Amino acid sequence: GESVGLHLPTLSVQEGDNSIINCAYSNSASDYFIWYKQESGKGPQFIIDIRSNMDKRQGQRVTVLLNKTVKHLSLQIAATQPGDSAVYFCAENIGSNYKLTFGKGTLLTVNP
Amino acid sequence: DAGVIQSPRHEVTEMGQEVTLRCKPISGHNSLFWYRQTMMRGLELLIYFNNNVPIDDSGMPEDRFSAKMPNASFSTLKIQPSEPRDSAVYFCASSLVQGQETQYFGPGTRLLVL
């Protein structure tokens, strides 16, 4: 989900479990979505993207699901590892517009 | 590819001083973005260049901020004079073309204005 102000939503999982991070996007006209991972002290790193003509896309250990009906995006991480600990952002884009609108982020903590 | 390169990585300065942040986009990318990240406001787009031309600077906070892109491989973001409320992490990102292309971010410059 999204947050307001200083508090990020947090998700704490055990190493080896599957993680699901959710994002409610704002604009029903958005047709391109990206998930970024940001580790402490680093810039956002591209993970996976999906266009609105798809409802699922898989990468290495990650799957993105898109539900346009309820404007919901999720990122599933299989067999979560300590190195997956980071803040995860979803971003949305409309048409050929260059602007990405970022969510507030979710902090994922993986416990060994 | 080295990715987006930013310098300096950290900058500490006193209020009133000029600050210049630098960015080298990924070679071949023709879109460049400057963002600011704070805990309160998250990631904010400051300015966007396409083919070295500023297209949208509506996110630039005020006249104290200026950005240039003299060529395809270099951009600067300048703050003059700096204020404590400018303290943030500033990211540069680049993408291959305008539109629905992934933006690749640099490591950021962490700015502290005392």
Task: Print pLDDT tens along chain A (112 aa).
Answer: 343 344 689 999 999 999 999 999 988 889 899 999 999 999 999 999 999 999 999 999 999 999 999 999 999 999 999 999 999 999 998 876 778 888 889 999 999 8
- Strand (E) positions, chain B? 5-7, 10-13, 19-24, 31-38, 42-50, 53-56, 65-71, 74-79, 88-95, 104-105, 109-113
The whole-number pLDDT of residue B4 equals 97
The three-class DSSP label of residue B41 is: coil
pLDDT at res. B51: 92
Q: Which residues of B touch A59 (CB under 8 A)?
A: none
Overall size of chain B counted in residues:
114
Residues contacting residue A34 through CB under 8 Å, at least 6 positions apart: A46, A47, A48, A49, A90, A91, A93, A100, B102, B103
Q: What is the pLDDT of residue A66?
A: 97
User: CB of A81 within 8 A of CB of A91?
Assistant: no
pLDDT bin (cut points 50, 70, 90) of residue B96 is: confident
For residue B8, is the peptide bond before it cis, meaning its omega torsion is within 30 degrees of 0? Answer: yes
SS (H, E, C) chain A: CCCCCCCCCEEEEECCCCEEEEEECCCCCCCEEEEEEECCCCCCEEEEEEECCCCEEECCCEEEEEECCCCEEEEEECCCCHHHCEEEEEEEECCCCCCCEECCCEEEEEEC
Q: What is the pLDDT of residue B99?
A: 60
Count Cα atoms within 13 angstroms, Cβ side, for A62.
Answer: 17
* Test the A interface: residue of B5, B47, B100 with most A CBs within 10 Å: B100
Pairing of the two strands B19-24 and A45-51:
unpaired
Chain A residues within 8 A (CB-CB) of chain B? 5-6, 31-32, 34, 36, 42-46, 49, 51, 89, 93, 95-100, 102-105
Task: Return the percentage of chain B with pLDDT > 70, whole number.
Answer: 96
Per residue in B43-64, pLDDT (tens digit) is 999 999 999 999 999 999 889 9
Q: Considering only CA atoms, give the Rg of chain B.
A: 13
B25: DSSP letter: P
Q: Closest to B106 (Cβ–Cβ): which among A5, A43, A95?
A: A43
On the question of pLDDT at B85 being above 70, the answer is yes
Using the beta-carbon criterion (under 8 Å), do B99 and A51 form an inter-chain contact?
no
